[in-house]
Structure formats: C-alpha cells, structure tokens
Amino acid sequence: MKKIAVLAACFALSCSTLALAQSDPVALYKSKCQVCHGADGRGITPAGQKLGVLDIHSPQVAKMSDAELFEIIKKGKGKMPAYDIKLTDGQIKEQIVYMRLLK
C-alpha cells in the first residue's frame, strides 16, 4: 500500500510539473518566438529583420482573427515554420493570447 501511495504521489507531481511547463506562455514565447519576433513582438531582431517578420502590433496582424493566427502558427506561412509538431493546440492558443497582451 505504501508503494502505491508513493507511486501515486510521484505521478501526480510529474503531471503537475508537466502541466505547469506546458502552460507557461511567457517561457514558451521566449524559447520559440522571441528570436525572430523579439521580446516586444515588433520583430526588430537580426533574424526578424532578415526574414521580414511582421510587427504583431501592426494593423495587418491586429485584424487577424485568432483562428487565422492559429493556422499560421500551426501550419507556417511564408518563411515562418510550422509548429504543429513542436507545440500542442493548447500551447498555440496560449501564445495567441500572450501575443495579444504584448500590445
């Protein structure tokens, strides 16, 4: 019985740690997006300028629906790679919310 309790506690701890890691949009943005889009989302980075990254504050991006942004992040567009394998749908949705908050 003691072994089962210890295993259950370890499982619960590992699941909560995994959920916490997956639900940190700031850390995820820093690790996946910031190199091109910059800390403020303006795309003023060497990689962002080289690739012609759009400023997420621009009217062009601001008028895009969450569904449009979701598809771009998931499937890629132009020089932006697809993140369908690297991010879950939930993480993509969190990134969209985070991007909108950067304004």
Please give the C-alpha separations between residue 25 and each of 2, 15, 81, 91, in angstroms, as whole numbers. Answer: 37, 18, 19, 7
CA distances from 87 to 10, 23, 44, 57, 81 (A): 25, 11, 24, 23, 12
What's the pLDDT at 103?
A: 65
pLDDT at 102: 87
**Low-confidence stretches of the chain (pLDDT beneath 50):** 3, 5-10, 13-21
d(CA 37, CA 32): 9
Which residues have a Cβ under 8 Å from the Cβ of 55 and sit 6 or more positions away? 41, 42, 43, 61
CATH class of 24-101: mainly alpha
**Residue 75 confidence (pLDDT):** 97
Question: In the prediction, which pLDDT does 1 show?
Answer: 55
Q: Report the pLDDT value the prediction gives residue 22, as an integer from 0 to 100.
A: 52
